[in-house]
Amino acid sequence: MFKVEEGGSAYGARLVATQPLTAGTVIHRITDYRTTPHPTYQTIQIGPDTHINELGMVAYLNHSCAPNTIIDTSELTISAVQDINAGADLTFFYASTEWEMERPFICLCGAPQCVRLMAGAKHLSVDTLSRYFINAHIRAFVLESLGVPALAQ
């Protein structure tokens, strides 16, 4: 369904669809990973204090402010959120998993809704975040930052 291509991208390497993918398709199940309490530029935040370093393709899934995939941290899956043509870069919105990024960067995606500086969800408005799929731990952080008490578990 996908392959890593070296070069040809502003980010060095990229993940590319090798066949057409239909919206809703689970592209990858994250099963081979290590957990760490601290973020790095290659980890994905899956909870308030938990980050994972996936030992496969996730490191090549680049950011876009107009993403064509989502990472669902509750299911540990990557799914297409729109139909994707063969040869297209696979991307996700980094703030959907990251509250505060270890290595912020200037976004070069070129999307009309580009956030320009990707530093994590903590640094984006609620209005901006409302346009995207956001994982539960990020929603909880947003509510906490607004002074909304957490719901009982």
pLDDT in tens, 87-133: 999 999 999 999 999 999 999 999 999 999 999 999 999 999 999 99
Whole-number Å distance between alpha carbons of 101 and 43? 10
User: Does residue 80 contact residue 21 with C-beta atoms inside 8 Å?
Assistant: yes
Going from N- to C-terminal start, the domains of the chain cover 2-145
Task: Give the DSSP H or E segment for 91.
Answer: strand 91-92
Which residues make Cβ contacts (< 8 Å) with residue 76, sequence separation at least 6?
Answer: 29, 30, 31, 46
55 pLDDT exceeds 80? Answer: no
User: Rounded to two decimals, what is the model's pTM?
Assistant: 0.92
Please tell me the predicted confidence (pLDDT) of residue 153.
44
Considering the segment(s) 2-145 as one domain, its CATH architecture is Beta Complex (2.170)
